[in-house]
Amino acid sequence: METMTFRHTTKGPLAGTKPQAITGVVASGNLEVLLERVLPPDQCTIEIATPVVGYGDVWEAVAADFVARAQPGGLRIAINDGGARPDTVSLRLLQGARLMETGR
């Protein structure tokens, strides 16, 4: 098991008021993402727990691209990974951010 945390500054807060959302499942090749609106509006942290060791630089790139794309200010995001591919992680993060924005 490997854990890592990435902290980012955003241009502003993510739209919407939904306080919390969860998406995905911890299954092989999948992941669970918990999003909580608990940080200052220009901050975002992404905490990752993954059973697959040695892909820190890929996680860092996925997290940075997601923050640049979604500007998820105010969110603390926790990822429970089940060995998902980077594209699945990316899609799930975007889906999580949309859930927080739209309140769906």
Partner 1 sequence: MTDWRRQRTARDARIAAGRAHADGKVVAAADVVDLLEAVLRPGDRVCLEGDNQKQADCLARGLSACDPDKVHGLHMVQSGIVLPEHLDVFETGIAKRLDYSYSGPQGARIAKMLYGGQIELGAVHTYLELFARYFIDLTPNVALIAGVSADRAGNLYTGPNTEDTPTVVEATAFKNGVVIAQVNQIVETVPRVDIPGDRIDFVVEADTPFYVEPLFTRDPAAVTETQILMAMMAIKGIYAEYGIRRLNHGIGFGTAAIELLLPTYGERLGLKGRIATNWALNPHPTLIPAIEAGWVEQVHCFGSEVGMDRYIAARPDIFFTGADGSLRSNRAFCQTAGLYACDLFIGSTLQIDLMGHSSTVTTNRVAGFGGAPNMGSDPHGRRHPSDTWMKAGREAQQTGDPALMRGRKLVVQLVETFGDGLVPAFVEHLDALELARTIGLELAPVMVYADDVTHIVTEEGIANLLLCRNADEREQAIRGVAGYTEVGRGRDKAKVEHLRARGIVRRPEDLGIEPLDADRSLLAAKSIKDLVHTSGGLYEPPARFRNW
Contact 80, 30 (CB under 8 A): no
DSSP state of 14: P
Q: Of 43 and 98, which CB lies nearer to partner 1 in the complex structure?
A: 98
The C-alpha atoms of residue 103 and residue 101 are separated, in whole angstroms, by 6
Query: 40 or 85, CB closer to partner 1?
Result: 85
44/84 with CB nearer partner 1? 84
DSSP run (H or E) holding 65: helix 56-70
Q: Which is nearer to partner 1, 75 or 99 (CB)?
A: 99
Query: By the criterion CB under 8 A, which residues form the site for partner 1?
Result: 58, 61-62, 69, 85-88, 90-91, 94-95, 98-99, 102, 104
Cα-trace Rg, the chain: 12
> Among all chains, which residue has been given the structure tokens 């923050």?
67
Query: Smallest gap, in angstroms, from Cβ of residue 93 to partner 1?
Result: 9
Closest distance between partner 1 and the C-beta of residue 8, in Å?
17
Work out how close the CB of 59 gets to partner 1 at its nearest, in angstroms, rounded to a whole number.
9
Shortest Å, Cβ 86 to partner 1: 4
Contact 30, 23 (CB under 8 A): no
